[in-house]
Structure 1
């Protein structure tokens, strides 16, 4: 295994070797000694010896100093003698409860309970409609107190390529914001800081749902006017839900609101938009998903709508997306229903 440089006192552990976890591990190598934990031993082997993640980013050369392992014990031992450390959870929303349980069971025993923890997943938990911080809080409680979220308009591939990106770290704890900035703010990666965990998470969740709607409109060839309308009204929908849940209005006009929404609704690398385009072109959801295309917006759309309805919040675009995804309503009929809504003040 490649030896770890002693020149960088900060150590970063990334749990999850998917495309986003790998991209963030790559970015953190500018400022820190980094280890990535992979569930698959072959992935860890490839990163260590070939400096490639052949499953998720096969054409991206990874830094020679990036370490990988498939052992949780080895992963946490990597942080134990560090003067400064950070844990990044590169797992999807569906796995955050399990990952937080791992932290609860391992970090105190390793003397790492005060290590800042960041998650990067975007969405509502499918069964409970909880946001990631609500899931984490229920499991970690006061055992692992310093937590936060990292989000923003970003495609993993571009981050791994070293292209410019701006992200937001949100936490109630200054130590989390400071540590994340120290680990990731370098080169073409800019980190902005916020205390609005709720707003950042709602933006990250809802932009995926709105991106599916924009993809459907594009698949139906409804034009750029329709796309602009969906983005604008989608932003209003996102903000309504976020404000009721306790988010800050300013967050929704920033990187994790409007910024992430525009990227995901218009970018060709957006899997959520691609799912919408395929639906608009007449493919059914089962066929789309069986082809290997996954998108967080599909998983969280129903949960987002459930949370909104429990709060009596009007979410017409989210309702339309859910009707296409799960109620067999045709994309054209769903759009017609949106267009038939009565005029109202903006």
Structure 2
């Protein structure tokens, strides 16, 4: 039986463990929290991140990183983006050379402004690198509801095989040769979700949400191309698919963060009340800086960053964003 190591037992890492078990894989799941590892290993679910949801039987969970990696044929790295470098560095001594490591983290590293595949390549130079992204709320994956994701890698020799191993009728894994576009799509949609959540809370209307989403996809495409990706790949699950899921409903923690912000709560108060990471808050800062370094105009990213990280006032920030002069719609891409 093929073994997969899943690093990170938050909601999405746990969901991936369920999908992998349904696909017939031997799953070793690493958790940072001993109580989470003990509960999952005993078949009692994940009480911290997915309370009251039954998980697939047979998931082996623990806190020993080396034991989790032993025998793994590929690794799904599902930790918050700002912790990925540290966790990957801790894997270095135990990971066999040539074992693919797939980022499932949707963010950009602060300080370095590195994309997640870049962080993995730096810390684990002997590992083939991929990205798993797409519209996939953890709860629905755990429940076995139909889901599609993209596995992006520049090397199809291993990614096609892994997609076949991990995929099933209810967890469909498509492949892409563009990990940059997949990474940018997954990171950007969290920032955009905060913006659409604010628009919902301020009752700005459906037209405004459509405007934000369309211009957000444009900013996403500009950033992907500037980093060496092909904007065409953002038509797929990791771009338009993830934006549709995250920005058109209210399940996303980033959308609900935006709603709370739009209702007048402070960013600090919203985050203090949460047990889980809201990636868009951190990504807004690093993406805004990355855009500056690349000399890109990313007004939505800049506005969200101003609100959540720089103490900006909502009404003034919205007014400034709406005052951004329109012009040729897709000028920077044509």
Fold conserved (TM > 0.5)? yes
Indicate whether 1:150 and 2:138 are aligned. Answer: no
Tell me the secondary structure at the aligned position of residue 59 of structure 1: coil
- The number of residues matched between the two structures is 327
Q: How does 1:5-154 map to 2 (within 5 A)?
A: 9-30=1-22, 31-79=24-72, 85-107=73-95, 112-141=96-125, 143-144=126-127, 146-154=128-136
Counterpart pick for 2:148 among 166, 188, 192: 166
- Between the aligned partners of 2:148 and 2:90, the Cα distance in structure 1 is 30
Indicate whether 1:317 and 2:276 are aligned. Answer: no
The aligned residue for residue 163 of structure 2 is 181
Tell me the secondary structure at the aligned position of residue 345 of structure 1: coil
The Cα shift of 1:183 comes to 2.8
Tell me the secondary structure at the aligned position of residue 68 of structure 1: strand
- Between the aligned partners of 1:163 and 1:182, the Cα distance in structure 2 is 19
The aligned residue for residue 205 of structure 1 is 187
C-alpha root-mean-square deviation of aligned residues, in Å? 1.4
Task: Please identify the structure whose Cα radius of gyration is greater.
Answer: 1
Unaligned runs of 5+ in 1: 1-8, 80-84
Return 331-340 or 15-24, whichever deviates more: 331-340
- Between the aligned partners of 1:268 and 1:75, the Cα distance in structure 2 is 35
- Between the aligned partners of 2:294 and 2:280, the Cα distance in structure 1 is 20
The Cα shift of 1:165 comes to 0.6
* TM, length-normalised to structure 1: 0.91
- Between the aligned partners of 1:316 and 1:72, the Cα distance in structure 2 is 41
The aligned residue for residue 332 of structure 2 is none
- Between the aligned partners of 1:63 and 1:324, the Cα distance in structure 2 is 40
Runs of 4+ residues deviating >6 angstroms: none
- Between the aligned partners of 2:157 and 2:88, the Cα distance in structure 1 is 19
Indicate whether 1:298 and 2:281 are aligned. Answer: yes
CA change 1:98–1:226 in 2 (3 A) is same
Return 169-178 or 90-99, whichever deviates more: 169-178
